[in-house]
Amino acid sequence: MIIKAEKLSYNYGQLQALKDIDFQVKSGELLGVIGPNGSGKTTLVKNITGVLKSDGQVYFNNKEISLSSLDRKSIARKIGVVPQKSQLKGDFTVREVIEMGRYPHQSKFKKDDKSGRKVVDKIIDKLNLNKFTERFTGELSGGEFQKVLVARALAQEPEILIFDEATSHLDINHSIDIFKFARELIKQNQLTVIAIIHDLNLAAQFCDRLMVLKKGEKVSIGNPEEIITEEMLSSIFDLEALIKTNPANKRPFIIPVI
Amino acid at 52: L
Q: Is the dihedral of CA 93, 97, 100, 102 positive or negative?
A: negative
Q: Domain tally for the chain? A: 1
Distance CA 189, CA 183 (A): 10
Query: CATH number for the domain including 53?
Result: 3.40.50.300
Domain that holds residue 43: 3-256
pTM: 0.91
pLDDT (tens digit, 9 = 90+) per residue, 100-141?
999 998 876 566 667 788 999 999 998 889 999 999 988 988
DSSP assignment of the chain: --EEEEEEEEEETTEEEEEEEEEEE-TT-EEEEE--TTSSHHHHHHHHTTSS--SSEEEETTTTEEGGG--HHHHHHHEEEE-SS----TTSBHHHHHHHTTGGG--SS----HHHHHHHHHHHHHTT-GGGTTSBGGGS-HHHHHHHHHHHHHHT--SEEEEESTTTTS-HHHHHHHHHHHHHHHHHH--EEEEE-S-HHHHHHH-SEEEEEETTEEEEEE-HHHH--HHHHHHHH---EEEEE-TTT--EEEEE--
> Which among 104, 141, 103, 145 is positioned nearest to 127, based on CA atoms?
145
Distance CA 167, CA 74 (A): 27
Predicted confidence pLDDT, tens digits, the chain (258 residues): 689 999 999 999 999 999 999 999 999 999 999 999 999 999 999 999 999 988 899 998 877 788 888 988 999 999 999 988 777 777 899 999 999 999 998 876 566 667 788 999 999 998 889 999 999 988 988 888 888 999 999 999 999 999 998 887 788 888 888 898 889 888 887 899 999 999 999 999 999 999 999 999 999 999 999 999 999 999 999 999 999 999 999 999 999 998
